[in-house]
Amino acid sequence: MIVVADTSPINYLILIGHIDILPHFYGQILTPPSVWQELHDIDAPEAVRAWVKATPPWLELSPLDYVPDPSLSFLDRGEQEAIALAEQRHAERLIVDEMLARREAIRRNLSVIGTLGVLRNAARANPLRLPEALANLQETSFYAAPELIRSLLDEETSRLSGKRQ
């Protein structure tokens, strides 16, 4: 499975201690040069910079074959390159959080998932407790509409209630 990730999902999964979900579900993760640079940037959170100092072999810097489509210029460089890399490598999944980037990727027929979707899927497979993970995520700079968080928690409560019956 070819999977490309933008910076923010990697960043937030590191910050909440669930980065190992990515290789568990997806194996190898490709990142374009701008994402790689953002993860190593001096302005990245200390926990992220510490983690990338010993980048695991499942996270791979993947160069672009050609520059991103100029029509993507409304996105930041990492998102542009993540979409371009996903298209160039015919990725089965693009992991990206920013809504404009998600919409554009979907418009380009890419399969998209974000940090919340990754956590939701991991909770369904039982490697993590979703309420705890979401609480930790909300202690970072991650933003999701309160209604979305509540719906994920309600869905998880229903799912767990159904398992107990």
What is the tens place of the pLDDT at every residue in 78-137? 999 999 999 999 999 999 999 999 999 999 999 999 999 999 999 999 878 999 999 999
The Cα angle at residue 147 between residues 146 and 152, in degrees rounded to 5: 100
Distant-in-sequence, close-in-space partners of 67: CB < 8 Å, separation ≥ 6: 84
Q: How far apart are CA 45 and CA 145, in angstroms?
A: 23
Residues making up the chain, counted from first to last: 165
- For range 141-146, the mean pLDDT: 93
pLDDT tens string 33-70: 999 999 999 999 999 999 999 999 999 999 999 888 99
Q: In this model, does residue 6 exceed pLDDT 80?
A: yes
Which residue intervals of 16-108 are DSSP H helices?
21-26, 33-40, 46-53, 77-88, 99-107
* pTM of the complete model: 0.93
